């Protein structure tokens, strides 16, 4: 049993170290290729028609802001077609109708399309809207985005190259400093958008549409097979299918589209659950096709690392179960054990690939995007590391659901129309809440368990292990307590309402 625990622990470390190494490879590709900014082949002499598609479902707090910002786009009215693709079941529908009517009165070509059947969720709404879209180019915006007026002018001319199928802009964050959670989320997304997307695109690897703030060529969507409904990340699915057909994509890291980040833990968890589960669904669906394609080997390897990266959450969760028995039931490794080297040989890869590689990755993203404030921003790095661990239960659950084909609907991420550090529209004032689960209780149990593990290591003077394990209780307690704190008022309110009825 001693050898079983030890070997299992070591295999999990190898898995996590592999993904840490991949992160370093992305960083190396970024440093090598970031300067290769793409330029339009030429410019349109006459601007083409662009259809702006706004898919939404119960977004009463943000639709006015979104539609108003779309009306301010710097693009000729006679070349702009606006579609609100609404699947809502609440007041959002009336708000959208009113806003679209006002746009029509002002001379805009705008239409409101409402579905009572949510088949396909967002993918179904986009598929339905594309059938009547007047533009060959489709600019897609989720409800929480606020596009800059010049975004169409900065992107449309890249389509003068007939091989270009999609242009993705980089997300910016209008409520970055709202609270600690939004600051850490912004760092997570900055790393993905600035480093990963730039590195993949400019080094010739596959990269994917982020679901919003990007423009598609309609014929590219059609040739790739259209919007499929069989995954929760229809954007990733379509992106790989289109690139396998030979279409080229462009990522513009210096063209930004601001958006609102989830401000509460439950909203963040529901978003991460959907993204994680969807990526594994796409992995199951498309990975074999990637390896059958004529893409270069380095593209196939990178796509494999990308599509399987969320399996790391399963490995991280397994590590949580293995840490305690490994520390108490170690086999005798001879002179390595006698000299105390065996422990250091295992701790070093945890520290380097689990912490140092992550730290280097996010420090570089902040330094690249926020050169004036990056030293201040990276003070949140320890919490970022802890949050990544704390999310392992939530995201490992998503991975398992995808593996075993457990069907769940498209759970929207609650948005509240919050700008900057504005506190007037706090989440508690909204009826929109993320779906609740027992995940916070499991996280709380892990948090308490790791407090015991850390304290035990301190008592035994295992100071290195104590420091390395500290993010575990911090992460699990942060995610669990934040969720429980958010859920309790709703639970008490429901009980009060039930008592009032009786």
Query: pLDDT at residue 435 above 80?
Result: no
DSSP H/E element including 256 = strand 248-259
* C-alpha to C-alpha distance for 143 and 54, rounded to whole angstroms: 7
At 351 the pLDDT is: 66
At 83 the pLDDT is: 98
| Mean pLDDT across the chain | 90
What average pLDDT does this structure show over 112-136?
A: 96
Greatest mean pLDDT among 159-173, 326-340, 409-423 lies in 159-173
| 3-class DSSP assignment, residue 142 | coil
Query: pLDDT at residue 280 above 90?
Result: yes
Residues that are catalytic:
87, 235
What average pLDDT does this structure show over 197-226?
A: 97
Under the banding of pLDDT at 50, 70 and 90, the label for residue 421 is low
Query: pLDDT at residue 8 above 90?
Result: no
* C-alpha to C-alpha distance for 347 and 459, rounded to whole angstroms: 19
At 382 the pLDDT is: 92
Under the banding of pLDDT at 50, 70 and 90, the label for residue 392 is very high
Among the four given CATH numbers 1.10.1300.10, 3.40.50.1970, 3.90.550.10, 3.40.50.2000, the one describing domain 43-302 = 3.90.550.10
CA torsion, ordered 84, 422, 427, 365, to nearest 10 deg: 80
Under the banding of pLDDT at 50, 70 and 90, the label for residue 79 is very high
Delimit the domains of the chain by residue range: 43-302, 433-501
- Distance from chain centroid for Cα 156: 25
Under the banding of pLDDT at 50, 70 and 90, the label for residue 412 is confident
At 199 the pLDDT is: 98
∠ Cα 208 214 219 (to 5°):
80
Please name the residues in contact with 4: beta carbons below 8 A apart, sequence gap of 6 or more. Answer: none
Strand partners, 249: 166
Query: pLDDT at residue 427 above 60?
Result: no
């Amino acid at each position: 049993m001693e050898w079983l625990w030890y070997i299992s622990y070591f295999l999990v470390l190898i898995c996590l170290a592999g993904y840490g190494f991949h992160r370093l490879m992305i960083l190396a590709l970024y440093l090598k290729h970031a300067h290769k900014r793409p330029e339009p082949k030429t410019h349109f002499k006459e601007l083409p028609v662009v259809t702006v598609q706004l898919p939404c479902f119960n977004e009463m707090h943000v639709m006015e802001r979104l539609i108003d910002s779309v009306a301010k786009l710097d693009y000729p009215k006679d070349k702009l077609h606006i579609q609100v693709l609404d699947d809502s079941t609440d007041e959002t529908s009336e708000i959208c109708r009113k806003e679209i009517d006002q746009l029509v009165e002002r001379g805009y070509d705008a239409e409101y399309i409402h579905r009572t059947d949510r088949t396909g969720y967002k993918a179904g709404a986009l598929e339905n809207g594309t059938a009547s879209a007047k533009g060959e180019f489709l600019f897609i915006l989720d409800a929480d985005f606020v596009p800059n007026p010049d975004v169409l002018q900065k992107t449309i001319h890249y389509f003068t190259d007939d091989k270009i199928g999609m242009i993705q802009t980089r997300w910016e964050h209008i409520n970055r400093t709202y609270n600690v959670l939004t600051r850490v989320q912004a760092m997570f997304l900055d790393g993905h958008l600035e480093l990963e997307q730039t590195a993949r695109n400019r080094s010739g690897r596959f990269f994917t549409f982020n679901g919003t703030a990007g423009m598609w060529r309609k014929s590219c969507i059609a040739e790739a097979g259209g919007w499929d409904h069989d995954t929760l990340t229809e954007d990733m699915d379509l992106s790989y299918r289109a690139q396998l057909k030979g279409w080229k994509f462009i990522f513009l890291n210096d063209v930004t589209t601001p958006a609102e980040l989830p401000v509460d833990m439950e909203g963040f968890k529901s978003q991460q659950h959907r993204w994680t589960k969807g990526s594994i669904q796409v992995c199951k669906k498309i990975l074999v096709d990637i390896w059958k394609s004529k893409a270069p080997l380095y593209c196939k390897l990178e796509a494999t690392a990308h599509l399987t990266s969320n399996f790391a959450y399963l490995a991280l969760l397994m590590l949580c179960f293995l840490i305690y028995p490994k520390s108490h039931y170690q086999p005798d490794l001879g002179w390595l054990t006698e000299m105390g080297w065996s422990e250091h040989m295992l701790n070093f890869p945890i520290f380097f690939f689990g912490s140092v590689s992550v730290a280097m990755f996010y420090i570089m993203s902040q330094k690249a995007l926020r050169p004036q404030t990056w030293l201040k921003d990276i003070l949140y790095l320890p919490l970022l590391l802890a949050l990544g661990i704390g999310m392992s239960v939530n995201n490992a659950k998503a991975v398992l659901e995808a593996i075993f084909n457990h069907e769940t609907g498209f759970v929207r991420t609650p948005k509240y129309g919050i700008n900057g550090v504005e506190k007037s529209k706090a989440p508690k004032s909204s009826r929109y809440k993320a779906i609740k689960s027992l995940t916070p209780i499991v996280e709380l149990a892990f948090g308490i368990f790791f407090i015991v593990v850390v304290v035990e290591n301190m008592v035994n003077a295992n100071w290195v292990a104590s420091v390395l394990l500290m993010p575990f209780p911090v992460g699990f307690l942060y995610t669990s307590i934040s969720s429980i704190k958010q859920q309790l008022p709703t639970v008490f309110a429901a009980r009060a309402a039930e008592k009032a009825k009786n």
